[in-house]
Chain A
Amino acid sequence: MPELAAELLECERNGRVLFSGLGFSLQPGQILMLEGRNGSGKTSLLRILCGIRLPDAGLVSWGGEDIFKLGPDYHEHVSYVGHRDGVKQDLTPRENLRIARAMGKPNPDVEIEDVLEFFDLYDLDDVPTRTLSAGQQRRLALGRLLVTRATLWLLDEPFTSLDRHGIDRFEKLMQEHGEAGGMVALTTHHRVALPDTKRINLSS
C-alpha cells in the first residue's frame, strides 16, 4: 500500500504564513495526530492533504506521485470528515450513506445496515437527518468512513459532539483501521488513548 508524504509544505492565509517547510510521511498502519493552538493551520493542513486546498509551496504525494496530478485516483483512497458534516439535512441517514458510497469506491464487505447499527442510528433510519442530535449527525458523518474502501482517513475534530461512549467506540475503530493497514490523520483537542501515534505540532 502506498504511503502519504508531505515535503516542504507552506501555507499562508491572508498574507500570514501559518507553517512552512513542513515535511512528514504516513505509512500504512500509522495514526498521525496534528496538534497546535487555534489558528495554527491544522484544518488548512488537513485540507491540503485532502487535495481540496493548494499548498502555497511544497508537495503532497501518494505513492510517490503528486496528489493534484492523481486527482480522482487519489481520492478513491481518501475519506474526509471535516468541520461540516457533509450530510444533507433533508435526507434520511440511509440515503446519505448510500450517496457517500456511490461517490467513492464502494466497500462490498460492508452493508449500510451494519454501519447504521454500529453507530446506533438504525432506529433513526427513516427520519430526515435534520431531526437528529448533533452527536448523532456526527456519527452519521463518521459512518461515511466505512461505506467506501478508503484507506486514508482524514479527520478534522472527529470527536466533536460525541459522548464518552461514542468516543471510546470511535477510538477503537481507528485503532482497528490502523491494524488492518489503514492510515489516519486527525486533529483533536481531546486526549486520545491510542498507543503509538505519531505527532506533529504546528505551533512549535
Chain B
Amino acid sequence: MTQARGRTVRPYLRRIGARALAGVGVLFGAATLGFLALYVLPGDPVYAIAGNPDQVSLSAEQVAAIRETYGFDQPLYQQYLEYLGQLVRGDLGTSYQRQQPVTTLIADQLGPTVQLAAAAFATTLVLAFAVSLLTAKRRFGRGVSSVVELFFISAPGFWVGIVLLTVFSFRLGWLPAIGSGGWQTLVLPALTIAVGAAPPLIQVLRNGLEDTLDEPFVLTARTRGLSEAAVRLRHALRHALIPLTTLTGFLVGGLLGGAVIAETLFSRQGVGRVLVTAVTANDVPLVLGLVLLAALAYVVVNFLVDVVYPLIDPRLRSEVTA
C-alpha cells in the first residue's frame, strides 16, 4: 500500500509544482501586458494625470515635473524593471486621479466585494448542484429548466437585478434596495450574480451527469441494487465535476464582472464601484491594479482547482495510465 502511495504522490507533487510555476508565468505576463497598457499604448500619460489637454494647459516645466515624479523620463526598460520591482513588493503604483497608492484604495474597498463574491459563489454552486442533480435525465424537469436557463443566460444581469429590485424591494418590500450593511443587503445582489452565473454551470454539470449515467459502470452500480439517489451522488456526481474545470475562468470572470454590475446597481460599496469610477476618469493605474488583482484571483482559483482535481480523479495522479 505504501508502495502504491509512493508511486502516486510524487507525480502529483510534480504536477502541482509545474502548475504553480505556470501560474507565476501567467501573472508575469499579465503584469507585462499591464505595463504596456500603462506606458506604451496611451498618448501622453501626463494629461491623464493632470486632466484633459483641451481644458488644462500645462507649462513645459509642469509637464517635466510630472514626468519626473512618475518616472516617465527614464528609459522604457528601466521603467519596466522599476514597475516589476514595485509589483513584487506589492506596490501597484499611484492613482492618477486620487493621488493615493492604488493598494490603499483597493484595500479599503475590498471587504464588501469579497463578501458579495463569496455569497454569490455559494448561491451559484447550490443552484448548480441542486438543479442539475434534480433535472438530469428527467424529461419534464430538464425541459422546464432548460427554458429558464436559456432565459437567464440571455437576459442582461443588471436587468434581472432591476426586475428583482422592482419585485422584492418596491412591490413586496421584503428586502432593502440599496446599501451594504447587514446580510439583507447581500441577498438581491448575490442572487442577481448567481442567476447569471449558474445556468452554464448547470448545463455542463447536467451534461456531465447524463453522460456518466449512460456509462457501463453506472449500469454495474444499478445491478448491485443501488437506489437512484445513491447512483447519482456516489457515482455520477464525481464524474460530472471533471468537465467543470473548463468553467473556472468563466466562473471567476462571471463573479467579478457580476460584482461590478451589482455594486453599481445596488449602490453598494466595493472595488467594483471604484473600478467604474476609475474607468470613467481614465485612471489607468487604478484600473490596472484592479485588473491585475482579478488576474491574481483567476490564477489562484485555477491553481486550487489543479490541486483539488487529482483528489477527485485518481487517474490524474498516476504516472502511466494502462
A, B: real partners = no
